[in-house]
Amino acid sequence: MAPRDPAEMIGRGGTAVPSVAPVHKDRRNALGIKAVIDSSTTIRGPVETKNSALVDGNIEGNVTVTGTSRMALLRETCHVRGNVTAPIVMIAGEVHGDIVGRAVRLFRTAIVHGSITAERLGIDAGATIEGGVVRCGESAAHAVREAMGERPVASVADGQADGPAAFAAARNSRAA
């Protein structure tokens, strides 16, 4: 059986929390995890990777994961003092900073001190958020993509403009 796409788990209820038990290499490979920061590690400074990241340790700096299907999995023992930006963000630990992602999931043990901006958001009962939450639809999704370093693309679908084209159209209609 093929492993589930982590983004499919966003918004689903349940009490499962990413365990602090070691993640078997085959499971890491199936999820595309190549960057692992174990619980005995503290990093002072930003962490940037083009691969999915599994974090059990402490990071005093921003965490940035790029690539459209990449994720940041912050497990129960993880403590981050900085912003977390990734297409998929799954948190069971503690973050003191803002979170930006296309899909964000907070497990019941998650503690977030900062704002969350996401297209899709799942919050398990028991998760703690001290800050704002912005769940943006497709019309505002370009801001999330920009924050992740992706170049926004103007598109027109069903007569609706998205991205820079939408702002230009709105500005031109006000000027007329």
Structural domain boundaries in the chain:
6-135
pLDDT for 136 equals 76
Rounded to whole angstroms, the Cα distance separating 96 from 79 reads: 8
pLDDT digits (tens, 9 = 90+) for 80-110: 999 999 999 999 999 999 999 999 999 999 9
Rounded to whole angstroms, the Cα distance separating 100 from 48 reads: 14
Residue of 7, 10, 143 whose CA lies nearest to 68: 7
Strand partners, 134: 117
pLDDT for 143 equals 60
Q: Which residue has the higher pLDDT, 45 or 5?
A: 45
Q: What is the reported pTM?
A: 0.68
pLDDT digits (tens, 9 = 90+) for 116-151: 999 999 999 999 999 999 877 664 556 666 666 665
Q: Which residue has the higher pLDDT, 175 or 81?
A: 81
pLDDT at residue 18 greater than cutoff 70: no
Rounded to whole angstroms, the Cα distance separating 63 from 124 reads: 22
pLDDT digits (tens, 9 = 90+) for 36-70: 888 899 999 999 988 888 899 999 999 999 877 78
Half-sphere exposure of residue 82, counting CA atoms within 13 Å on the CB side? 18
pLDDT digits (tens, 9 = 90+) for 147-174: 666 654 443 333 444 444 444 444 444 4
